[in-house]
Amino acid sequence: MSVATGEGFACGRRIWHGAQVRTLPISSSDGASTVVEVYGNSGPSVLFLPGLGVPISYFAPFLTEWADRGFTIYALELRGMPLSSTTDIRSNEFGYAHALEFDIPAAIAQTDIAVPFILAGHSLGGQLALLYTGRGTSEVAAVISIASGSSHASALKSSRLRIRRRAQVGTIGIIARTLGYHPGDRLGFGGRQPRRMIEDWAHEARTGRFRLAGSTFDDEGGIATITQPVLMLTLEGDRLISPEASGLLAARAVAAEVTKLHLTDERPFDHFRWARKQPAQVAGAVTIWLGQQQI
């Protein structure tokens, strides 16, 4: 496996359940570095973006399962995660815009990913997939959002839950501003994150609209211009993202043909553990949808 060095990451390979995984070094134009792990070597290309605070290694069972169905999956390690150079979140301030403006473009330019590709993401990664596509790129053939949605309180069904969500968002924001970072490892949400990342998340959670720190782009307007097919996949049993929360985000892609799919299984899905416990169910669902799009 690649290891961090003072000059970035070395290209390497590792074995996951008998399958070779390529690890490619990625250098962003602002000086940060990270890696892309590549699963499979044939079929349509997919760029996969993980959720907040989740390393790409956690998704290995799902990515292997998806690649085995005839796809080449390029999985980008986000900033703050173990294979990135920005693990010290106190001295590295970054937010959503860094992924959109530096890291995703670097991953596309510095790998052999075939264009146009499918852009997919889990949770935060699903938001980033829509935001990146909304910035007018022709590189994306389709968008897949897995267990992703709006964090705004209006997605909740009762006034009690809406009041609690607003209080939680306010508290998270206060803690991040006071400490200068988000101690998610102690709070049980999102892992350790820089203040800017949490400010971006909290703004959408408060207002139901994206406004990214350090960016002048109208991302809400951008999402409204997406014309690529979009799959919004939700999971029965997911306590963090409901179909209502996913639908609230999907409603902003007014020009896109959006498919909403709620996936059920014999066992309830967990927001995170599906990637290890039920990867075949999710990989099967997205593969069927892509076939219907003739991708």
> What pLDDT sits at residue 15?
59
For residue 134 the two structure tokens come to 């909304």
**Distant-in-sequence, close-in-space partners of 290: CB < 8 Å, separation ≥ 6:** 44, 118, 142, 144
Domain residues of the chain, as ranges?
Answer: 4-155+217-292
**CB under 8 Å to 211, separation ≥6 — which residues?**
203, 204, 219, 220
At position 240, the amino acid (one-letter code) is: L
CATH code of the region 4-155+217-292:
3.40.50.1820
pLDDT for the residue numbered 1: 26
Could you read off the pLDDT of 64-115 as tens digits, one per residue? 999 999 999 999 999 999 999 988 877 788 999 999 999 999 999 999 999 9
For the segment 168-208, what is each residue's pLDDT rounded down to a tens digit? 878 887 887 877 777 767 776 777 788 899 999 999 999 99
CA distance 171 to 177: 10
* Reported pTM: 0.91
Residue 13: band (very low, low, confident or very high) from pLDDT cuts 50, 70, 90: low
* Calpha distance 249→232 (Å, rounded): 9
Over the stretch 234-276, which tens digit does the pLDDT of each residue have?
A: 999 999 999 999 999 999 999 999 999 999 999 999 999 999 9
Helix (H), strand (E) at residue 105: helix 104-109
